[in-house]
Amino acid sequence: MFETLLKYFEGSPLSLWGPFLILILCGLGLPVPEDIVLVAAGALGEIDGRTWMEVSALMYVGVMLGDSTIFFAGRFFGTRLRSSRWFQRYFSEKKQGKVEDLFDRYHSWVLFVGRFLPGLRAPIFFTAGSTRVKFLKFFFFDGLAALVSVPFFVWLGHWLWRRFKDDIAQLDRVLSRTQSYTMLVGLLLGSVLVLIMMIQFRRMRARKDSDWENS
């Protein structure tokens, strides 16, 4: 996938906007790994002489537009799509059960963690829309996670191309290992952050309840 994206976009006017459009199409159901698109965008940025921050800013917008598309699909078509055969093929009842369990455990913070769970990312965002989660809440938590993942993968693409552009086979091997480690570390960091925030939230609520009882 990485090599295919480079083949079609390198040296063309779409070297920047091509990955951006693909990220939006991911929100419409295009079965393309979002993280690989971001890495490719970083490599293309390095080839074109763009900074990784410049590329990251545009890709961030593309990611959020794609995620918001999934959210609003759940908001406006959730009930109808859940009963369709197409939906059951991609979002099985088992996967829906996992998503509902995550919402029960972590509440809104599952939107943050969901960005680091490629297999459950779209079902989580779709479920958030269909269960009437407020859009601003969804945008905050998802956007916060994207501020971590998007710049990292774009930077990774910059670094990989600068280091291994003359050895694509080695680049693919490093990318494969790095992607697996990154998702694991991201998930662990996200889980720790969620745990900390939940503890702080419970302490604040307990303090408020105590103040109310003493007043």
Per-residue pLDDT reduced to its tens digit, 147-160: 888 998 899 888 88
Rounded Cα distance, 41 and 139, in Å: 23
Whole-structure pTM value: 0.76
Least confident of 14-28, 54-68, 104-118: 104-118
Residue 187 scores a pLDDT above 80: no
Cα dihedral value 142, 117, 192, 98, nearest 10:
100
DSSP H helical ranges for the chain: 2-9, 14-26, 34-48, 52-82, 85-90, 93-106, 110-114, 118-130, 135-164, 168-214
Chain position carrying tokens 């763009």: 50
Mean pLDDT of 50-78: 91
Rounded Cα distance, 181 and 97, in Å: 27
